[in-house]
């Protein structure tokens, strides 16, 4: 398989075939992100993509899902995506679902008809990193989209019949906007009502703009229990109207959680509150076991 640079995928795609159809991220301006800083965005040539699909035949039986990398493959022209998906389905008939990352800009560029075409072809799930529901935090981290546009994308994806998985970041508002970030993000997730929602914790990577801001005293990350307080506030304000599977079990998090919302929300909130109240760090994931 032709892989350029480090490859990133959602935790739920751990057993998927990773097919890199583009390199890097078309936005690549987020202050906290280091993932694609060493890559200039470009679409791979079709000959290389076709060759990878052909090579994947030898691994048949090892996977039933395909993930299209890199950072926001949905930005590719619809006809190109339909060609790639069609070749996957023809050559790898055991594949049951195809997924990809997508940023707000990429989703908004697609018409409702194009999204339906992609879903009918086999694109079953969209992973979207919204990070926060607070407009000021989104501006500071240079996300390139505000809440009302993120909400528009969620409605488009759901209307097309695709699954929607959204990721938010604990700590991204810093100490200064911690409370506002948590409350607004919970409310924002309520409005968007994704099928899956995941909370990761910001880990400040040297070389990023956020790291520079921290060194200059312009950004301070909440401590462990401050991050847990954010998680509690977020869930308290997340009143989804349909089933949403919520997790915070990523390796970056101090307290792993898996919960079906809305029915398990109050139980989980009570558990988090108990951990905060006791202040017992032995309950939390040790620092040396945390990772991106």
Nearest-angstrom CA–CA distance, 77 and 215: 40
Q: Which domain CATH number covers 45?
A: 3.20.20.70
Window from 32-36, 45-49, 93-97, 120-124 with minimum mean pLDDT:
32-36
Three-state DSSP state, 127: strand
- What pLDDT does residue 241 have? 86
3 in any annotated domain: no
Instruction: Choose among 98, 101, 102, 85: nearest CA to 46.
Output: 85
Please say if the pLDDT value at position 226 is more than 90.
yes
Three-state DSSP state, 189: helix
Radius of gyration of the chain (CA): 19
Please say if the pLDDT value at position 25 is more than 90.
yes
212 in any annotated domain: yes
35 in any annotated domain: yes
CA angle, 173 then 252 then 249, to 5°: 110
2 in any annotated domain: no
Three-state DSSP state, 174: coil
Please say if the pLDDT value at position 71 is more than 90.
no
pLDDT digits (tens, 9 = 90+) for 119-158: 999 999 999 999 999 999 999 999 999 999 999 999 999 9
225 in any annotated domain: yes
Which helix (H) or strand (E) is 50 found in, with range? helix 46-56
- What pLDDT does residue 38 have? 81
84 in any annotated domain: yes
Average pLDDT for 17-35:
94
Please say if the pLDDT value at position 37 is more than 90.
no
Instruction: Choose among 52, 28, 48: nearest CA to 39.
Output: 28
pTM of the model: 0.94
pLDDT digits (tens, 9 = 90+) for 157-213: 999 999 999 999 999 999 999 999 999 999 999 999 999 999 999 999 999 999 999
For residue 113, name the pLDDT band (cuts at 50, 70, 90): very high
162: left (phi over 0), alpha (psi -120 to 50) or beta: beta
Owning domain of residue 257: 11-289
For residue 249, name the pLDDT band (cuts at 50, 70, 90): confident
6 in any annotated domain: no
- What pLDDT does residue 96 have? 95
Q: How many domains does the chain have?
A: 1
Q: Please provide the size of the chain in residues.
A: 292
Please say if the pLDDT value at position 33 is more than 90.
yes
Q: How many CB atoms lie within 10 A of CB 280?
A: 10
pLDDT digits (tens, 9 = 90+) for 82-91: 999 999 999 9
pLDDT digits (tens, 9 = 90+) for 257-288: 999 999 999 999 999 999 999 998 999 999 88
For residue 292, name the pLDDT band (cuts at 50, 70, 90): confident
- Per cent of the chain over pLDDT 70 is 100
Nearest-angstrom CA–CA distance, 194 and 208: 29
Nearest-angstrom CA–CA distance, 41 and 24: 5
1 in any annotated domain: no
């Amino acid at each position: 398989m032709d892989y350029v640079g480090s490859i990133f995928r959602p935790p739920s795609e751990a057993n998927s075939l990773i097919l890199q159809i583009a390199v890097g991220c078309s936005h690549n301006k987020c202050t906290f992100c280091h993932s694609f800083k060493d890559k200039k965005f470009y679409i791979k040539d079709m000959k290389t993509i076709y060759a990878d699909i052909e090579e994947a035949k030898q691994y048949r039986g090892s996977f039933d899902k395909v993930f299209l990398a890199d950072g926001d493959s949905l930005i590719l022209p619809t006809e190109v995506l339909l060609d790639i998906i069609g070749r996957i389905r023809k050559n790898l008939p055991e594949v049951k679902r195809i997924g990809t990352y997508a940023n707000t800009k990429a989703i908004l560029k697609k018409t409702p008809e194009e999204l339906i075409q992609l879903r009918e072809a086999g694109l079953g799930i969209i992973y979207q990193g919204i990070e926060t529901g607070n407009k000021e935090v989104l501006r500071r981290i240079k996300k390139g989209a505000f809440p009302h546009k993120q909400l528009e994308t969620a409605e488009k994806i759901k209307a097309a019949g695709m699954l929607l998985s959204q990721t938010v970041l604990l700590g991204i508002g810093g100490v200064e906007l911690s409370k506002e970030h948590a409350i607004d993000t919970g409310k924002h997730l309520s409005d968007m009502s994704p099928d899956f929602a995941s909370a990761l914790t910001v880990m400040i990577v040297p070389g990023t703009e956020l790291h520079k801001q921290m060194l200059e005293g312009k950004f301070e990350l909440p401590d462990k229990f401050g991050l847990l307080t954010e998680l509690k506030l977020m869930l308290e304000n997340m009143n989804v109207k349909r089933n949403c599977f919520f997790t915070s079990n990523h390796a970056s998090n101090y307290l792993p959680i898996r919960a079906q919302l809305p029915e398990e929300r109050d139980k989980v909130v009570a558990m988090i509150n108990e951990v905060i109240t006791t202040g017992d760090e032995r309950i939390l994931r040790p620092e040396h076991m945390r990772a991106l």
